[in-house]
Amino acid sequence: MPGKVVILSGSGLSAESGLPTFRDAAGLWRQYSWVELASPEGWRKHPELVLAFYNERRAKAWAAQPNAAHLALAALEKNFDVVVVTQNVDNLHERAGSTRVLHLHGELAYARGTGPKRRRQRIDAAPIEMGQTCPEGTQLRPDIVWFGEETRFLGEASEHVASADKVLVVGTSLSVYPAAGLVEYARADAEKVLNVLEMEHVPADYRFMPGPATRIVPPLVDGWLRSHPP
Ligand code: NAD
């Protein structure tokens, strides 16, 4: 039986691929609050602004490349049963080669209608325009979980964390709930590691490894792969 590793990742993991983190992304549009850019209220008030924000993020995400940390995490699959649980809406984990990725907050690569039928459609890098509709005839919106909307895969993700032998939290400030609460499902005997630039309150039992993910994650993964041959 291979050991099981669960990765809990956030926007800091993609920072070294050139994608702004949560706070920095808001900074780019600092005349607006996140509520205006990423909430059902914001969408109702000015959908064109919301589409423009996400069209820009989608274009930037497609121009970006997975970094050494994304690639190392994908390589873990050689010797481990790996599940990536991410708050990220980019697809850099998949492009690095990770095959099991749960996107808690949706994906830039998909759009969906705004009516009762929520079937999503793949758009990849294409922008969503005002007036562009789904097959049911309602305006397309990004398939992103906005503030106040329901986080996806939470039950499944908590079960994965609870059954993991190793949990690596990387690039998340653990400030957006309920995703942040997943760290607490880890088993007492699991190896638990946290890699961010800085963190005031490190969750109990997590080994804190501060620094850029591209410097911290590859050697950590190498050690795990060596100590756990296929
Ligand atoms: P956050 O901005 O709150 O926290 C980022 C964390 O990453 C910080 O703790 C910081 O110390 C750390 N960090 C920054 N650069 C790093 C690096 N090079 N290596 C390691 N750690 C680094 O982000 P969050 O916790 O992911 O916030 C969650 C919200 O942000 C989610 O709703 C998510 O959907 C959204 N978001 C996603 C993306 C993306 O998909 N790339 C980008 C921006 C925001």
pLDDT in tens, 119-159: 899 999 999 999 999 999 999 999 999 999 999 999 999 99
The one catalytic residue in 103, 105, 160, 201 is 105
Quote the CA–CA distance of 100 and 94 in Å, as a whole number.
8
By DSSP bridging, strand 106-112 and strand 191-195 are: unpaired
Atom from ligand 1 closest to the CA of residue 176: 28
CA of 24 to the centre of ligand 1 (A): 9
Same domain, 52 and 162: no
Quote the CA–CA distance of 215 and 221 in Å, as a whole number.
11
Same domain, 168 and 82: yes
Same domain, 209 and 170: yes
Same domain, 228 and 198: yes
Residue 67 has a pLDDT of 98
Domain-terminating residue out of 121, 144, 167: 144
Same domain, 221 and 130: no
Atom from ligand 1 closest to the CA of residue 108: 40
Segment-wise mean pLDDT, segments of 10 residues, the chain, 230 residues: 92 95 67 84 95 95 98 98 98 98 98 88 97 94 95 98 98 92 98 96 96 98 92
Nearest in space to 19 (alpha carbons), one of 49, 47, 58? 58
CA of 12 to the centre of ligand 1 (A): 4
Structural domain span for residue 88: 1-19+66-105+151-230
- pTM listed for this prediction: 0.95
| Secondary-structure breakdown of the chain: helix, strand, coil percentages, each rounded to the nearest 5 | 35, 20, 45
Same domain, 194 and 98: yes
Quote the CA–CA distance of 78 and 87 in Å, as a whole number.
24
Domain-terminating residue out of 119, 144, 169: 144
Same domain, 122 and 187: no
Residue 68 has a pLDDT of 98
CATH assignment of the domain containing 36: 3.30.1600.10
Same domain, 121 and 86: no
Same domain, 44 and 134: yes
